[in-house]
């Protein structure tokens, strides 16, 4: 038996209403604990890139849901703070062994989250269950990395950045931020959007599958992803609802413009990275 088969079997019993938080056995909880340990070690991931496309690992997302469905909410305490949750916070003793830093008073890492080597996590910030944060990545102040989000290596998440979580439906891939990406302060990435590697995104940009990306390199309008090696920022474009009588001066909607990344943009990003070393 493998962990995947154990989780899949437990999910089937849960889906058939044959097990709940009151009837789950010690063996069932051993499976859930082993599953969380696998996530925290980076051995299993909520999504992986296959043949150039990101795909959800449905059994992993079901395993996370099982940890909510088969555990009761408990009163807990960590670092002098009392809270109520089904999961405790993640133990962080292994982070220092890998050169990863998390500053005091507000860095919160839930069980089932992975942080790689040489990461920096500034206060306050939050990394949720199932999230994967690659080596050398900065999670800055007031950042949230949502459930199952996959963050690559050497990524910079600017202050007050939101990486949305996508736990359900289990077949949907989560938000993906590939290697070398830099997101400016205040960015929002939601609903399974994919940011291609080495792309630099301007401050306060909203990246969502519902918002068009005007890719001036390939000269096309795309949805749901930013190609690699782009410089992207928000612009307002005319909206069709501007024809309505209520909009005397016309109406506009947000869009994302993607251009070829320039050498000086790369240099500025590298200088910022050097300051963190």
Query: What ranges do the domains of the chain cover?
Result: 3-74, 90-276
In this predicted structure, the answer to whether residue 85 has a pLDDT above a threshold of 90 is yes
Q: How much is the pLDDT for 275?
A: 47
Q: How much is the pLDDT for 6?
A: 98
Query: Tens digits of per-residue pLDDT, 262-277?
Result: 755 555 555 455 545 5
Measure the CA–CA gap between 9 and 154, rounded to whole angstroms.
37
In this predicted structure, the answer to whether residue 245 has a pLDDT above a threshold of 90 is no
Say what angle helices 26-40 and 58-69 make with each other, to 10 degrees.
130
Tell me the pLDDT of the chain averaged across its residues: 93
In 3-state terms, the chain is what percent helix, strand and coil (to 5)?
Answer: 25, 30, 45
Percent of the chain, pLDDT > 70?
A: 92
Band (pLDDT 50/70/90 cuts) for residue 192 is: very high
Band (pLDDT 50/70/90 cuts) for residue 105 is: confident
Q: In the CATH scheme, what architecture does the domain 3-74 have?
A: Orthogonal Bundle (1.10)
- Tell me the mean pLDDT in the region 191-209: 97
Residue pair 276/120 in contact (Cβ under 8 Å)? The answer is yes
In this predicted structure, the answer to whether residue 99 has a pLDDT above a threshold of 90 is yes
Band (pLDDT 50/70/90 cuts) for residue 253 is: confident
Please tell me the number of Cα atoms within 13 Å of 207 on its side-chain side. Answer: 32
In this predicted structure, the answer to whether residue 248 has a pLDDT above a threshold of 80 is no
Is CATH 2.160.10.10 correct for 90-276?
yes
Band (pLDDT 50/70/90 cuts) for residue 1 is: confident
Lowest mean per-residue pLDDT among 33-37, 90-94, 134-138: 90-94
Same fold for the pair 3-74 and 90-276: no
Lowest mean per-residue pLDDT among 29-33, 59-63, 165-169, 194-198: 165-169
Q: How much is the pLDDT for 271?
A: 46
């Amino acid at each position: 038996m493998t962990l995947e088969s154990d989780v899949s079997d437990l999910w089937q019993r849960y889906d058939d209403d044959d097990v709940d938080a009151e009837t789950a056995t010690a063996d069932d909880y051993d499976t859930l604990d082993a599953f969380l340990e696998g996530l925290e070690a980076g051995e299993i991931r909520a999504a992986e890139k296959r043949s150039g496309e990101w795909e959800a690992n449905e059994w992993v997302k079901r395993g996370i849901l099982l940890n909510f469905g088969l555990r009761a909410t408990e009163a807990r305490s960590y670092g002098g703070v009392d809270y109520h949750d089904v999961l405790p916070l993640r133990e962080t003793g292994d982070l220092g062994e890998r050169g990863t830093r998390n500053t005091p008073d507000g860095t919160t890492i839930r069980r089932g989250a992975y942080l790689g080597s040489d990461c920096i996590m500034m206060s306050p910030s939050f990394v949720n269950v199932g999230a994967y944060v690659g080596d050398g990545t900065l999670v800055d102040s007031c950042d949230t990395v949502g459930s199952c989000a996959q963050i690559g290596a050497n990524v910079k998440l600017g202050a007050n950045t939101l990486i949305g979580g996508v736990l359900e439906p289990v077949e949907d891939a989560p938000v993906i931020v590939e290697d070398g990406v830099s997101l400016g302060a205040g960015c929002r990435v939601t609903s399974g959007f994919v940011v291609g590697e080495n792309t630099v995104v301007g401050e306060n940009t909203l990246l969502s599958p519902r918002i068009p990306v005007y890719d001036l390199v390939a000269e096309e309008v795309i949805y749901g992803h930013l190609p690699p090696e782009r410089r992207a920022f928000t612009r307002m474009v005319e909206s069709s609802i501007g024809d309505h009588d209520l909009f005397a001066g016309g109406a506009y909607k947000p869009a994302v413009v993607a251009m070829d990344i320039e050498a000086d943009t790369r240099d500025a990003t590298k200088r910022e990275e050097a300051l963190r070393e």
